[in-house]
Structure 1
Amino acid sequence: MVGLVPPDLRDRWAAFSVTDAHDGPAPIPATNEWARLAAREARTSVRILRITEPMTWTNAVEAGRITDPGITARIVSAEVTLTTTVDGRSEAERTSVELGLEFEGPPTRSTWGFVGAVTYTAIPVGTS
């Protein structure tokens, strides 16, 4: 939650949360990976499977442990397909992805904004 992020880091938290690969792959590739993907003419498509509110979030709000009216959490489950070209041949890698995200919006802000990615799980499904 924003309140737990030190104030001097809050302006960088959203970007850091989707690029940090310390504990495993990150939702957004590292700088050197972008060059490899560009060389392979990579493109990605995403199919959202479901969006839910985490039960732990709901329970924490109901119990009064989360009191900020402008922050909410969602879990986004999706299938991501990364298509690349290798030796003139197209290859597609499918990955099942789940992201735990936090957003901030009304009544504390006039519009919704991305706060950060709390969790990220990516499981390869197959290639074609």
Structure 2
Amino acid sequence: MAHDSKAHDAALYRHWMTLLAWMQDFAQERGLIFEKVADFPDYIYRMERAYDLPTTIMSASLNTSTGPLFVAAVSPRHTDLKGVSLRLMGGSKHWHLHADDAGLLEGKRPFTRQRLHVILEGALTGVGR
């Protein structure tokens, strides 16, 4: 079975943009701080070449007033097996998501806005907010 990596990569970065929007919405709803952590290396070092990914943000965090709560990152373009990683700060809980045409997947289960909210609400409860 042939795998169209260019189409798969485009889907991954499109879904990454959706995840970033969900994080920004949650931050606004709950009074958290959404912060870009890092740009893609090929954006930083592109010199005079055009940049064709839909965002420069490779990783972002949600922070409380006392520090980081949650970090999300997507693989850079040059890696072979691309995905999205999610990590709760101060613990060992993390998730690895992969792209499908319809969205990000947590294993075979769709990773939804509601799933992100459940994770983040649990983290906020854990830090006493």
Tell me the TM-score normalised to structure 1 length: 0.31
- Rg comparison, structure with higher value: 1
More helix by share: 2
More strand by share: 1
Structure scoring higher RCO (CA < 8 A, sep ≥ 6) equals 1
Tell me the TM-score normalised to structure 2 length: 0.31
